[in-house]
Amino acid sequence: MPKFSRRSKEILLTCVENLQVIMYDVVAITDITIISGLRGEGEQNSLYRRGLSKLPFPNSRHNAIPPALSEAVDIAPYPIKWKDTEKFYYVAGIVMGVAGMLGIELRWGGDWDRDDDLHDQTFMDLGHFEIVR
């Protein structure tokens, strides 16, 4: 059974408990790594400037003022192959299935408007999941 690295566990601790619960269930099914949880101002604005995030600090769901935790998490299939988008879709299906079974509403970066249409996106962020408030 796959397990998280120490680094993945540390990042996951910066995320709200519901995201932690989901991701521990997911990693028991398929190997994933945690890429990003809570982001401070410098990191967020750097990603924004490079076009890797749509939102400047503090508007991303990854942004919170500690001790508040991130309501978003970025993950990747492990081992990481960024161009293997099929694997990202496979993992996202598992994440959304696990969240649904746990009764936790998530929004995925491959279906921002949550209409189950995966072809109407303008910004794909296939490893991004956030809690629906």
Applying CB under 5 A, the residues found at the interface with Zn ion are 72, 74, 128
> Closer CB to Zn ion, residue 1 or residue 58?
58
**Shortest reach from residue 83's CB to Zn ion, in Å:** 19
> Closer CB to Zn ion, residue 74 or residue 111?
74
Distance spanning both ends of the chain, measured CA to CA: 32
> Closer CB to Zn ion, residue 27 or residue 38?
38
Assign 72 to helix, strand or coil: strand
**Shortest reach from residue 31's CB to Zn ion, in Å:** 19
**Residue showing tokens 């408990």:** 17
Tell the burial category of 127 from Cβ atoms under 10 Å away from its Cβ (0-12, 13-18, 19+).
Answer: buried
- CB-closest chain residue to Zn ion: 128
> Closer CB to Zn ion, residue 27 or residue 131?
131
**Shortest reach from residue 95's CB to Zn ion, in Å:** 13
**Shortest reach from residue 1's CB to Zn ion, in Å:** 26
Residue 93: partners with Cβ closer than 8 Å, 6 or more residues away:
none
- Token code pair at residue 44: 């967020």
Bridge-based pairing state of the strands 106-108 and 128-131: antiparallel
DSSP 10: H
